[in-house]
Amino acid sequence: MRILIDINHPAHVHLFKHFTTDMEGKGHEIFFTTRKKDVAIDLLKQYGFKYKSFGNHYKSLWGKMWGFIKFDIMMLREALKFKPDLYLTMGGMYASHVAFLLRKPHIALDDTEHAKEHHMMYVPFSTVCLTPTCFHKNFGEKQIFYKGWHELAYLHPKRFQGNSEIFKHLGIEQNQSYVIVRFVSWEASHDLGQKGLTLQQKIELVHQLEKHTKVFISSEGKIPKELESYRIKIAPHLMHDALAFASLFVGEGSTMASECACLGTPAIYINSLEVGYCTEQEEYGLVYNFRTPDGSIAKAMELIAQPNLKAETKLKQEKMLSEKIDVTAFLVWFVENYPQSIKIMKENPDVQNQFINE
């Protein structure tokens, strides 16, 4: 089987990397397409995947409108060369259009309820949409729910074990306490009108945390000049090791908050946007959600002062893992058995329980 995977964000590389390795090991051929967005290309190179970059990712409204046409044409050209049997994306509109045009199946994963513009642009052209059970938006007959989160595709214990060598990369003593703070750029289309921490609150958060622990900042955009010295300086593929051994995560990014939940690292998510997976993770006691910054800094101080915080969070992680699937194993099964897998999941959703590792 020849499968084209379109990448629109670095997190999508992680989402599909173990799927790609497993499928290639079974003799299938995988090809990636992408744009220059953050470290997406760096990650594709790091993992040795075959890919084609379509150039710059546009940020302005006019740029996005031009990119809509440009990337559809470039995707069509690449598809005619590669001749995929199936297209696979995380809500990828360009691949969905080309798949529809060429009458090939497009399997889309989605976990972002508020990405309304993207939904309008890809759902009508997709064959099936795979979403977590906590996803609270209805895509109709095309939708199939699975018992997991995207981050469990690459951070399930079967797929990932943190490497303690990360302390050397961070330049700190072995097992030294540290916190990772994450700021987002607010440039995505679904971020319009949304907000997180103000500049003053970012500075206050970091200065309050550093009274108790080492602080590292990860940021999509520029870091305020006053906080530049806190920037984390590690290779992109080491970030999950850093999250795994962190004492606490505080940030505006839902993906990193969810990654911490999967890793057993307590997380505080500060963002006016609500996402179903972070809400569900709060029910497990793994993530603390704040729609406004009010009270978030106080909560961070409260948590970092708890001596058994990490051990208690690990116990909550174990409870979660007893109820969630290895998402990569499920996806491999679903694609290899497509289209019969649609009928099977519709008739017996519990068939996916075979991918829960007790």
Residue 152 falls within a domain, yes or no? yes
Residue 161 falls within a domain, yes or no? no
* 202 and 128 in a common domain: no
Say how far apart CA 163 and CA 26 lie, in whole Å: 28
pLDDT at 319 over 50: yes
Say how far apart CA 169 and CA 21 lie, in whole Å: 26
* 257 and 235 in a common domain: yes
User: Per the structure block, which two tokens stand in for 52?
Assistant: 């084609």
**Could you give the number of structural domains in the chain?**
2
* 148 and 282 in a common domain: no
The predicted structure's pLDDT at residue 317: 98
Find out whether the peptide bond into 339 is cis, omega within 30 degrees of 0: yes
Count CA atoms within 13 Å of residue 212 on its CB side: 15
pLDDT at 269 over 90: yes
Place of tokens 């020849």: 2
Helices within 191-290 (DSSP H only): 199-209, 239-245, 254-263, 276-283
* 267 and 345 in a common domain: no
pLDDT tens track for 274-293: 899 999 999 999 999 999 99
* 227 and 189 in a common domain: yes
Say how far apart CA 3 and CA 140 lie, in whole Å: 25
CATH number for 221: 3.40.50.2000
Residue 72 falls within a domain, yes or no? yes
* 142 and 16 in a common domain: yes
* 204 and 301 in a common domain: yes
Residue 283 falls within a domain, yes or no? yes
pTM of the model: 0.91
Give me the domain span that covers residue 121.
2-156+326-355
* 114 and 46 in a common domain: yes
* 300 and 242 in a common domain: yes
Higher-scoring residue by pLDDT: 329, 60? 329
The predicted structure's pLDDT at residue 254: 92
* 174 and 121 in a common domain: no
* 119 and 150 in a common domain: yes
* 255 and 119 in a common domain: no
